[in-house]
Chains A and B, each alone.
Chain A
Amino acid sequence: MSIRRAVAVTMIACLLTSAAACGGDDDDASGGGGEITAEGTDDGSELTLWTRAPLELQAKALVDAYNKTHKNQVKLTVTPNDDYVAKVGAAAGSGGLPDLFAADIVYVPNWTKAGLFDDLSERIELLPYADKINQGHLTAGTFEDKRYVLPFVLDLSVIFYNKKLYREAGLDPEKGPSTIDEFKDQALAIQQLGKKDTYGTYFGGNCGGCNVFTWFPMVWAGGQEVMNPEGTQSLLDGTAAQQVYRTWRELQDAGAIAPGAKDETGATWVAGFQEGKVGVMPYPATLLSTAAKTVDVGVVPIPGVDGGASTFVGGDGIGISKDSKHSEQAWNFLSWLSSEAAQVDVIAATGSTVSRTDLADNKYSQKDPRVAVVNRVASLPQSKTPVSVNFQQAFNAPGSPWMTLVRNQVYGEAGSLAQDNTALTDALAQ
């Protein structure tokens, strides 16, 4: 009996200490030990890469293209969007992260601060086109002047409108809205067609991420900010923001928002437009090719109160994990990822936005002026990626303070703005 007890005690002790050791700050960069180069090493190693399900299409295309042309072989693991953080977290706590992993760009500041990624500063310096890489993503992946993350897949928000419905409503199908008021008027005009199952616009009324993605640019376009530069204080009670809320409330009161918006958690917020039931709405640019299959789509940048244009530079960043034993080989993948071969022949070919400004004008964008619009808006100075350590908790999480603010502004007590904004600041600042 005593032997068994001794075994048990030892096991407990082992477990508790090993867990503590893993959890500690063992930040030793375990590289290949070789010299740092711009291309990294391609020696037939097996690399692992994790990403979340929404980016599966692009990730798979990239991995396939890389594996075909390189000795290194990348193994891809896709995880459902909502469970990705849990999976990365479990792995991070016990040194089990893959060589490479992508992260929603708004979570990147939090993850770099927690030390999940390897420092890439020197390597990025070596890339000849370092200054052409999307600045929003690079900034989000910078912590204490060190760079940890490169853009993986870019996703931008733009205005999509249904040209067929525009013609029927007597609007100019070649001219989308160029101010928020025009957006409202055009949505109302579509609504006034009185067609069955056809509505002016739509939004995710219960989806924090959707409205971050589509409403922030309306604020930025006029030169205002949504947060202070440190990302610890919410400025979403500013005049432009108020104008945005008012616009949506008026659309709601006029019945110009398709039904279901209030319950929309983001699962189907793009479906109505694809089915031709929605006139005009801010939309993810990645879905241009999908939507264009069923609808004659027009694309313009998201406008501000007095015009201007902006977009939310979303999508995912990617870095080498602190646990990688093949960081030279993993860098080979990242270096290739930002090369013209990957950006144009894979990313642009799948209809996504390239992450280098010097490649914005390519053979795919020349074929479709709408793609050119998207690429152009990506490099505007007003286009941003918001950076805050507590972004997820404040904005994206179910039931976040941002969600409370939005729902009060559109459906509830609009007078509670100051109070809701304070709650948002509290969440950001903690």
Chain B
Amino acid sequence: MAKANPAAGWAYATPTALFVLVFFVLPILLVGRMSVSDWGLFAGNRGWNAPENFTDALENRLFWPAVWFTVKYTVVTTVILLGLALGLALLVQESSRWTSFLRTSFLVPSALGLASASLLFYALYSPQASPFPGQISFLGTPWSALWSTVALIVWRFAGFYMLLLLVGLHSIPGDVYEAARLDGASRGQTFRHVTLPLLRPSLALCTILCVTGSLLAFDQFYILTKGGPDNSTVTIVQLVYNVAFQGQNNLGRAAALSIVVLAALLIVNVLQFRGLRGKES
């Protein structure tokens, strides 16, 4: 259906191309250059030093803990968030007044920015302002800090993913269910053998978005935990930020870390595409 009309195609694509080129490709090239230079935050470029930044970045005492924590956080968030979103989508898929009220209440948190949502939970979790009785330490131990942050993220994003999955559910034709019912399939069987397979494209999209978003997690930890307690919640992007702006003030090393992250994400996403496509065909 798409027409082969290169001139018109490029004409319409020009604004996008310009945007991408000027505000994305050029800065990335500069990041690439920083990553092979001795580039201090205040001192600026002090000449080439490849591959020192990369070896220094990988030798950082927080690098492997940060990788491990980011992966752990990503897995936990993705599993809980998508599981809950699927449950919510199933709950509200029929339309009635009650379900549309439910939909709205699940969706409202996604109108907040991540930073405002984090600030809200920051107050909610603080010993001073918290409405919860007693001295619950929400951010005091590595375990509670992780789960308190996951709670924030689930609250903020569950509605959004619910919506994406709802779209998938609605695109499943009714006669498929009808056929399953006639075959005498139980509810559980229908869900497992009809709904889930047909929902795969939507689930795939959600997984990719959620994994990418979680691997790049920054705002929530920056505001809530600052990587604490005892560096137990330092994510990889936070490490980038810390190397650049808090302490080392070394843009070269931060850029090298970002390049590593970018490469890892590209690989993860290519693998996800492959895996999810492969199963489909």
**Interface, chain A (partner B; CB < 8 A):** 8, 11-12, 15-16, 19-20, 22-25, 82-83, 85-86, 88-89, 92-93, 110-111, 114-116, 206, 259-260, 262-263, 265, 267-268, 271, 390, 392-393, 397-400, 403-404, 407
Interchain nearest-CB distance for B229 vs A (Å)? 6
B244 near A86: Cβ-Cβ < 8 Å: yes
Interface of B is mostly: loop
| Nearest A-chain residue to B241, judged by Cβ | A86
Interchain nearest-CB distance for B65 vs A (Å)? 10
Which chain A positions have C-beta within 8 A of B45? 19-20, 23-24
Pick the most buried of B44, B45, B126: most chain A CB atoms within 10 A of its CB.
B44
Docked CA distance A115–B40 (Å): 12
Which chain A positions have C-beta within 8 A of B234? 399
A392 near B42: Cβ-Cβ < 8 Å: no
A265 near B42: Cβ-Cβ < 8 Å: no
Which chain B positions have C-beta within 8 A of A110? 42, 249
**Interface, chain B (partner A; CB < 8 A):** 21-22, 26, 29-30, 33, 39-45, 62, 126-128, 135, 137, 139-140, 226-231, 234, 241-242, 244-249, 251
A260 near B248: Cβ-Cβ < 8 Å: no
Docked CA distance A398–B126 (Å): 18
Which chain A positions have C-beta within 8 A of B227? 398-399
Interface of A is mostly: helix
A263 near B229: Cβ-Cβ < 8 Å: yes
Interchain nearest-CB distance for B56 vs A (Å)? 11
Which chain B positions have C-beta within 8 A of A115? 42-43
Beyond A115-B42, A116-B42, A399-B234, 6 extra complex contacts between A and B, CB < 8 Å:
A22-B44, A24-B44, A82-B226, A268-B126, A393-B247, A398-B242
Docked CA distance A399–B69 (Å): 15
A89 near B229: Cβ-Cβ < 8 Å: no
A16 near B30: Cβ-Cβ < 8 Å: yes
Which chain A positions have C-beta within 8 A of B226? 82, 265, 398
Docked CA distance A24–B137 (Å): 48
Which chain B positions have C-beta within 8 A of A24? 44-45
B44 near A89: Cβ-Cβ < 8 Å: no
Docked CA distance A390–B127 (Å): 33
Q: 5 A–B contact pairs at CB < 8 A?
A: A15-B26, A85-B41, A89-B251, A92-B44, A114-B42
Which chain B positions have C-beta within 8 A of A82? 226
Q: Check A92/B248 contact, CB under 8 A, given A259-B135, A260-B127.
A: no
A92 near B230: Cβ-Cβ < 8 Å: no
Interchain nearest-CB distance for B71 vs A (Å)? 19
Interchain nearest-CB distance for B237 vs A (Å)? 14
Which chain B positions have C-beta within 8 A of A88? 42
A265 near B228: Cβ-Cβ < 8 Å: yes
A397 near B242: Cβ-Cβ < 8 Å: yes
Which chain A positions have C-beta within 8 A of B43? 23, 114-115
